[in-house]
Amino acid sequence: MTSNAVDSFRLAWQGKVNEIPDSQVQAVTGDSLLIRAGAAEALFTAPAGSTGCIAWWGISEQVETCYGRISQIVGLETDVAQHLAAGDPFQSGLLNVTEGQQVTRLVDFPLSYQTGITQIATYSIGPRESLTLFGQTAQYQRIDERIWMPELDYSALNQYWVDPATGQVRRSLQHPSPEFPVFEVISTHKHGKDAQE
């Protein structure tokens, strides 16, 4: 990381910029997770070939993703825990989601003493779109996730761009909390030989 991610996200809210160049992301020997929130960026790493639920560590904070969806944030001013529900579309792979499919999760915001907040997610299948990630252009399947939290009167649209060959979420726009700006999450996934190069 170029700086503590907590400080990085605080800079975003103050309108200051902390940019991580593509070359630094590509220099990571394992898998990487680049998060852009507002004007700040933070880079997290994990061992090459990490799959499923992955803990990404910073200096004093942790982000966990489950199959590409942010499931936990610890160490920022608002902690978030939004674990996948039984039968969650992320577990079976977003490429298998059906139009209008719904799932209900329970979300916790521990620092504000809010637990068991209902989140209803409804899925729709978007078009295949061309994206350029770290200098590589490819086609990805977009999946939209409309979330609704009735107790907070909060709704947002999350979007996921899935690699049709691997089923991995390569880029997403996620709203983990009403307190945060949208998180743009971009991931790399390196196979063994890629990690050694």
pLDDT at residue 197, rounded to an integer: 37
Query: Among 29-33, 113-117, 171-175, which range has the highest average pLDDT?
Result: 171-175
What is the percentage of the chain residues whose pLDDT exceeds 90?
51
Measure the CA–CA gap between 190 and 31, rounded to whole angstroms.
Answer: 6
Return the SS3 of 84.
coil
Backbone angles phi, psi at 186, to 5 degrees: -125, 130
Average pLDDT for residues 91-113, to the nearest whole number? 94
pLDDT in tens, 32-78: 788 888 767 788 878 778 889 998 876 667 789 999 999 998 877 77
Confidence of residue 6 (pLDDT cuts 50, 70, 90): low
pLDDT at residue 26, rounded to an integer: 62
Quick one: tokens of 176? 């983990």
pLDDT at residue 115, rounded to an integer: 93
Amino acid at 22: D
Confidence of residue 94 (pLDDT cuts 50, 70, 90): very high
Quick one: tokens of 87? 């039968």
* pLDDT over 50 at 2, yes or no: no
pLDDT in tens, 130-166: 999 888 899 999 999 999 999 999 999 999 999 999 9
pTM of the complete model: 0.84
